[in-house]
Chain A
Amino acid sequence: MPTLTYRDALNQALREEMERDPSVFLMGEEVGVYQGAYKVSRGLLEAFGPLRVVDTPIAELGFAGVGVGAAMVGLRPVIEFMTWNFALLAIDQLVNSAAKMLYMSGGQIPIPVVFRGPGGAALQLAAQHSQAFESWYAHIPGLKVVAPATPHDAKGLLKTAIRDDNPVVFLEGEMLYNAKGDVPDEEYTIPLGAADVKREGGDVTIICHSKTVAVALKAATRLAEELGVSAEVVDLRTIRPLDTAAIASSVRKTNRCVVVEEGWPFCGVGAQVVDEVQREAFDDLDAPVIRVTGADVPMPYNKQLERAAKPDPDKVIAAVKRVTYLD
């Protein structure tokens, strides 16, 4: 099986879907001539021309709305935000236009649009460029929210997102673009709303998504080697719809649960997961669920402080020790 980077897997997904469906187009800042700020759209302008790979002015609200409007009349836009930090300028179009149009039109106007781009912290980009917004969008009925962790999942989920008739918020990990993984040659898609067990285990469930999947997997390896604890790593892949069945079934097996996310703790993705766990697996729990999140502060620039603000394997191991009463 070929090995691809996360970036190239996304590129393949875009290319394949644009070849498959002439109503799919890509629009955003620097997606064309510059080949993408993160090179996800490399070669697409040459392959599909300027009508289907559209460079925009720096006008997030405007071009996000252009995408929604084009979707209203039947096109399938993929709108790239250079980062999700800048998408805050466009959030009115995502929340007030894209998410609600089908409902407030009484079912007349679906919005088949994908909003995608990198999210989460990179390295020392400081407060305004280091934010994970999964929970913001997952809060909104009418939006679907996807955050893949691997090249394989990134490709299969993006293809599905483009074919979906609803607005999909697709958050890529800025630090994952160079991550490599196996991606099959043959055509495949991955359904939205299906979590994936990235590592099987019997002692504790670690629930994670996007960049924190790698953190959880590292922690799981060390837990096995250093403490003999067998951790099951469940990658949500899609935040909304949430695969509550997969969460519950893993927790029923392990009886212990840690939830890891890069975002802030208050009203975060983990809060929703914990709510599901206590309702669906209350009698199976042998310990309170512990969350590992980004620190509840704006991201600092200083390297040591930044490291302290992010989830890492040590923090996950500490949380696992608490739910297994090993500390």
Chain B
Amino acid sequence: MAQPAFVSQLDPDRAEFYRHLLRQMLLVRRFEERAGEAYAQGRIGGFCHLYIGQEAVAVGALTALRKDDYVFASYREHAHAIVQGTSVSTVMAELFGRAGGCSGGKGGSMHLFDVGHNFLGGHGIVGSHLPLAAGAGFAIKYRDTDQVVICFFGEAAVNIGAFHETLNMAALWGLPVVFLCENNRYGMGTALERAAAVYDVYRRACSYDMAEETVDGMDVLAVHEATTRAVERARVERLPTLIEARTYRYMGHSMADPIHGHYRTKEELEEQKQKDPILDLQVRMAEGNLLDDGALRVMKQAVEEEIDAAMAFAEQSPEPAPEALFTDVYRE
């Protein structure tokens, strides 16, 4: 069996924070499981990329930000929107394509947006949102504020030109952007070692003289600490960082894809599930006497009720009006 991902010692004074991390991870896990069920029932359409297994990355990283910081993500972004503050109800309603969705039902699973929480997508072309994140970083420099941008992307994005063009400009111009690569090992069915001459994503930062760090992406506290360091570097020194979080997805690339098969074995998947980031934190908190079974049960119950309410909201939210087809093409 794999070693549990103990990295940092739990601090009893931060019990409340750990409970918050645990609750957020449980929330996005259950959100994704319920979304998967709804997809199987045909109530969610299109492509639906679930985040199950990777929760420690979004939760650990986004809890290191301030509310006025900007967040960009790829198409596997339900969790990032939720952790950033978008209500689970409006995210679920968006998956259902309803008017009450965070993008009015016009974006769907891959295009969640919530300007009120500085959640700026939800982008469906691999790598295309990295320059957008640099643009928000440029605006921060332009306005001379101390905000920070964080940009999440998968390891398959590091082989596309946009990655290199963006990291070069971010380093050259000193843009306050944290580039967080979620290395879940597979771009759809292509293992990183079959697509990249250099396996270690973080090593690419040296091409741009950029700070880098690699972190266990199954350890929410390690992700939080690494991101905190990078955010500080961006906020104070206005310098970018490339973080590589080594993580793993427990589901297929999207709901339309097999969970295992030609590209990875069931045994590998089962082994990785032993490192479940949620169980890992639960165990560590229990060992530190920071969480008992009763409290965990109450937390899980509250999460379930929140998702129940989100499902109900999504189901009851109206379809977009027919005239919505032609609105929002141009700003008048």
Contact surface of A with B, Cβ cutoff 8 Å: 25, 51-52, 56-57, 59, 61-75, 77, 92-93, 96-97, 101-110, 141-142, 144, 165-166
Contacts and interface: CB of A to CB of B under 8 A. Distances in A.
B113 A106 contact: yes
Nearest to B101: A106
Given A61-B131, A62-B134, A165-B331, A104 B111 contact: yes
Contacts of A107: 104, 327-328, 331
Contacts of A61: 131, 161-162, 165
Contacts of A165: 331
A62 B101 CA distance: 31
Interface-centre pick from B120, B124, B139, B169 (highest chain A CB count, 10 A): B139
Contacts of B331: 102, 107, 110, 165-166
Given A57-B169, A61-B162, A109-B113, A69 B104 contact: no
B120 A109 contact: yes
Interface in B139-161: 139, 141-142, 161
Interface string B63-105: 0000000101000000000000000000000000000011111
Contacts of B142: 25, 51-52, 70, 75
A105 B102 CA distance: 8
B103 A73 contact: no
Nearest to A51: B142
A73 B135 CA distance: 9
B106 interface: yes
A33 to B, nearest CB: 15
A94 to B, nearest CB: 11
Contacts of A106: 101-107, 113, 328
A96 B131 contact: no
Contacts of A52: 142
A73 B132 CA distance: 10
A65 B128 CA distance: 8
B248 interface: no
Nearest to B114: A108
B24 interface: no
A66 B168 CA distance: 12
B135 A67 contact: yes
Q: Which of B72, B113, B115, B328 has the most CB of A within 10 A?
A: B328
Contact of B130 (A65, A104, A109): A65
B197 interface: no
What 6 A-B pairs come out closest when comparing CB atoms?
A69-B135, A65-B131, A106-B104, A62-B165, A69-B132, A105-B113
Given A59-B168, A62-B166, A64-B131, 15 more contacts: A62-B134, A63-B165, A70-B138, A93-B131, A96-B125, A97-B128, A101-B121, A102-B331, A104-B103, A106-B103, A106-B106, A107-B331, A108-B113, A108-B115, A166-B331
Contacts of B115: 105, 108-109
B48 to A, nearest CB: 16
Contacts of A51: 141-142
B329 A141 contact: yes
Contacts of B139: 69-70, 73-75
Interface residues of B, number: 45
B136 interface: yes
B246 interface: no
B307 to A, nearest CB: 23
Contacts of A144: 330
A104 B113 contact: yes
B329 A103 contact: yes
A73 B136 contact: yes
Contacts of A69: 72, 131-139
A38 to B, nearest CB: 23
A108 B101 CA distance: 12
Interface in B145-201: 161-162, 165-166, 168-169, 172
Nearest to A74: B139
Given A59-B165, A105-B111, A142-B330, A65 B125 contact: no
A105 B120 CA distance: 9
A101 B136 CA distance: 14
B123 interface: yes
Most buried by B among A103, A104, A141, A142: A104
A68 B131 contact: yes
B169 A142 contact: no
B132 A65 contact: yes
B134 A57 contact: no
Contacts of B121: 101, 104-105
B106 A62 contact: no
B273 to A, nearest CB: 34
B327 A73 contact: no
8 contacts: A59-B169, A63-B131, A63-B165, A65-B128, A66-B138, A73-B136, A106-B106, A109-B113
Nearest to A108: B115
B106 A103 contact: yes
Contacts of B165: 57, 59, 61-63
Nearest to A77: B135
A25 to B, nearest CB: 7
Contact of B162 (A25, A65, A102): A65
Contacts of A142: 329-330
Contacts of A103: 106, 328-329
Contacts of B114: 108
Given A66-B138, A68-B132, A166-B330, A108 B103 contact: yes
A111 B129 CA distance: 14
